[in-house]
Chain A
Amino acid sequence: MRLAALCVLCAAVLSGGPAAQSLRVCADPNNLPFSNSKQEGFENELAQLLARDLHRTLEYTWWPQRRGFVRNTVGTGRCDVIMGVPARYELVLTTRPYYRSTYVFVSQKRRHLRVRSFDDPQLSTLRIGVQLVGDDFANTPPAHALSARGLIGNIVGYSVFGDYSKPNPPARVVDAVVNGEVDLAVVWGPLAGFLAQRAAVPLEIHPVTQTRSLTPASIPFAFDIAMGVRRGDREMKDRLDRFIEHHHLDIDALLSRYGVPLSHPRKEQS
């Protein structure tokens, strides 16, 4: 992977023209639908679009997106742009958000569960898959919401880290819906939407809707996602902000092709 990235550079240099500046992207080599080393993820395609727009060649630094990702990528100066982070993410300087998605309920279509809320009475009897982060006292929103409702005994946890020797380790929670290990899973939209497009059995996905009795009230299920650059790199941030503004419709179309459920702020009830 590193070789491939170097050769992109070589080609640019050997072509004889003015040495093209490269767009240096930091990405996980094994985490579809976001990115992989074959560049099959939507963040890869978005990076290509961005590189074309900036007239730069695309160069990757691959690193698993785990604790230490920011430090080992933009933090070391090896690359300049992370294609997806939550808006206002503290570890980097973030651009304006370029999409907003939401956690969703995923189930097999033939089950006709149509779960849309944590107050659905079916939840007390279904086997429910959820991802766990394992960072002390922090976890995925559905993990918090389920425990706040006392839904405990029928919950199956999947480490978001999974087995990194397998393709796209966070995808196991959706695999569990497909193979019947769980009846329902509550999953971050981009992952669920992408896998639902390609699943061996038809899946249905429904955004998690905010409800009156939701506790704790502070737990959000929809998140704005932005690009991230090194703190202080305002020049790159401005450039990316302009790209996002100009290519707003292209980006929406691109995300839709990958099945990313988009949640527009103007439609938010809360």
Chain B
Amino acid sequence: MAAKNYASTRFSALNEINTSTVNRMRVAWTFSTGVTAGHEAAPLVVNNTMYLITPFPNFVFALDLTKPGAPLKWMYDPKSPAAARGVACCDVVNRGLAYWNGSVIFNTLDVRTISLDAETGKERWVATLGDINRGETMTMAPLVAADKVFVGNSGGEFGVRGWLTALNASDGRMAWRAYNTGPDKDVLIGPEFKPFYEQDRGKDLGMTSWPSDAWKIGGGTVWGWLSYDPSLNLVYYGTSNPGPWNPDQRPGDNKWTAGTFARDASSGAARWFYQSSPHDLFDHDGVNESILLDATLNGQPRKVLVRPERNGYVYVIDRTNGEVLSATPFVHITSSKGVDLKSGRLLEVEDKKPRVGVTIRDICPAAPGAKDWQPSSFSPQTNLLYLPHNNLCMDFEAMEASYIAGTPYVGSSVVYKPGPGGHQGEVTAWDPLAGKAVWKVQEKYPAWSGTLATAGGLVFYGTMEGWFKAVDAKTGSVLWRFKAGSGIIGQPISYRGPDGHQYVAIYSGVGGWPGAVVVNDLDTNDQTAALGWGVALRDLKKDTTKGGTLYVFTVEGS
């Protein structure tokens, strides 16, 4: 799975590549995907085969690691004519694949989940779960647990209603689907639902916390990360921001968007929910990763879930009941004053709330959040969380008329800019129990790749300019770096090859939300290009070019 394990720690126990040997790390082999959109996916290695998925058109490659240069075993093309016609214009990334019982399972942009025979690449089953013609897409990496495949949709901007679906891993048949808006029966809320906070208790809140029928097109999609606790048999996931109404047109908490659900993996029944951004104002999806840790807090053993949120706080939540134990800011925040642990509510700052036609400056964090989708890792050696994240604020400004599907529209436009310090990205080593940063590395651009922590005392990540870096997990000192062909927004992994040696693999291939400036060659003199990134990423087109390549590294002479 993309996140390494059910707890989503992204920690590799391999240590051949370590703080002493990493300076001898060199490229072992590379592989070009022939695709130029943003490569966010994690490679997957099982039984001496590496599986890769590309952004749309979602090619899948199987590479034979037992042979020199890892030649192609098979390739699969899911063929999506509707997507190719431009019906889905944005968000063409894919975040990875999963393995189950001799099959490789992944999602396609045109809302299909596909299982292939891992040995031959032949289809085992194809489940069509939605319709791209209605703006629905899929970009997330499935999680396979308890013989089920958990998948969710994307497309909140188009008025899609979000869901999490469980398929039987053996035949692709739907076991259950839980919507994230609407009546309790659709949300699979029943007697087992025991949210920790008062505001989440009541009948049909997924309807009554919205005006009239707005929940039907309310967003709350599931395009991020899932975790699973086998002992509790609970699956954890976050829901996206509400849409496509402006905030002032959807008064109420807009449940169950921008929050975290715990569900029974077998039945889908909701157990608890926590809303990190009730009535979201800033596009602060709650889809980030949940890292499951067993910790001792105030002398008590606690099963916790750690979530670095888009709204700027690292939440430590009791994963058995949804109680927020702490919520600590990890970036500069102006849009809220903290989280009230008694009520669980985010304390918003009134004069930073967006209003149409009014210019509001210095809202921090910006819409992409303190941290977007880019997943963090956790090392049990240092007990630190390694957060790749953004340092961005934004201004709201009045917008000229724009145009879509023959229809002129207006409102506010957003302009992103670097936060304090003038840099746009950071990698932070975070002590989740003490609630403080131990070290920080600054990056010119948003740190849009995942991190990988290893038993070699290293943390790996990539930058949007294309540097792939290994830093000391204890200090953040850069011990090794390599300049890849294109900016890096992927997820590094480490594996033991058939030769017994340790390898590290990463996609290069700039793109994603900020990288669209390069992939689509947007005019960065237009400050609102790529939905607000224009000014912040003015130099990015000079600093990198597009194109997907996998890089695999090992220690020389090993």
**A-side interface residues toward B, CB under 8 Å?**
28, 31, 33-34, 63-69, 71-72, 75, 84-86, 88-91, 131-141, 143-144, 146-148, 152-157, 159-166, 169-170, 188, 190-191, 216-220, 223, 225, 231
Contacts and interface: CB of A to CB of B under 8 A. Distances in A.
Nearest to A72: B86
A165 B248 CA distance: 31
B299 interface: no
B159 interface: yes
Contact of A134 (B133, B159, B408, B526): B159
B89 interface: yes
Chain B interface, DSSP helix/strand/loop, else mixed: loop
A154 B212 contact: yes
A68 B86 contact: yes
A223 B404 contact: no
Contact of A64 (B85, B357, B409): B85
A68 B211 contact: no
Nearest to B219: A134
30 contacts: A31-B405, A64-B87, A65-B404, A66-B87, A68-B86, A68-B520, A72-B86, A75-B521, A84-B403, A86-B401, A88-B400, A89-B400, A91-B526, A131-B407, A132-B217, A133-B244, A135-B402, A138-B412, A139-B246, A141-B409, A143-B245, A147-B246, A152-B249, A157-B213, A159-B158, A161-B405, A164-B133, A191-B407, A217-B357, A223-B408
Given A141-B409, A160-B405, A136 B520 contact: no
Interface in B244-265: 244-246, 248-251
B406 A137 contact: no
B157 A134 contact: yes
Given A68-B520, A141-B410, A147 B90 contact: no
Contact of B405 (A66, A86, A143, A146): A66
The 9 closest A-B pairs by CB, nearest first: A134-B244, A138-B411, A159-B159, A68-B89, A216-B357, A165-B133, A86-B401, A147-B249, A218-B357
Interface in B69-114: 82, 85-87, 89-90
B280 to A, nearest CB: 11
B90 A67 contact: yes
B129 interface: no
Contacts of B412: 137-138
A100 B246 CA distance: 27
Contacts of B286: none
B217 A157 contact: yes
Contacts of B413: 137-138
Contacts of A144: 246, 356, 410-411
Contacts of B85: 63-64
A40 to B, nearest CB: 14
Interface of B: 82, 85-87, 89-90, 131, 133-135, 156-159, 211-214, 217, 243-246, 248-251, 283, 354-358, 367, 396, 398-414, 520-523, 526, 528, 531
B131 A165 contact: yes
A190 B405 CA distance: 12
B243 A134 contact: yes
Given A133-B404, A164-B87, A138 B410 contact: yes
Given A159-B158, A163-B134, A218-B398, A86 B211 contact: no
Given A86-B403, A135-B157, A157 B134 contact: no
A153 B215 CA distance: 12
Contact of A152 (B251, B405, B531): B251
A143 B402 contact: no
Contacts of B251: 152
Contacts of A134: 156-159, 243-244
Contact of B89 (A67, A155, A163): A67
Contact of B357 (A33, A139, A219, A225): A219
A161 B135 contact: yes
Contacts of A84: 403, 406
A229 B292 CA distance: 53
A20 B131 CA distance: 42
Contacts of B520: 68, 71
A28 B405 contact: yes
Contacts of A75: 521
Contacts of B407: 131, 133, 140, 160, 170, 188, 191
Contacts of A90: 400, 526, 528
Nearest to B132: A164
A162 B133 CA distance: 8
B88 to A, nearest CB: 9
Contacts of B402: 86, 89, 135, 138
Contacts of A133: 244, 404, 407, 409
A159 B406 contact: no
A137 B354 contact: yes
Nearest to B396: A137
B22 to A, nearest CB: 41
A28 B521 CA distance: 22
Given A64-B86, A159-B217, A138 B409 contact: yes
A149 B522 CA distance: 37
A138 B399 contact: yes
Contacts of A161: 134-135, 158-159, 404-405
Contacts of B158: 134, 159, 161
A106 to B, nearest CB: 14
Nearest to B402: A138
Given A143-B245, A188-B408, A216-B356, A85 B403 contact: yes
Nearest to B401: A86
A225 B408 CA distance: 9
B401 A137 contact: no
A264 B357 CA distance: 25
B209 to A, nearest CB: 13
Given A72-B86, A163-B134, A157 B405 contact: no
Contact of B406 (A65, A138, A147, A163): A65
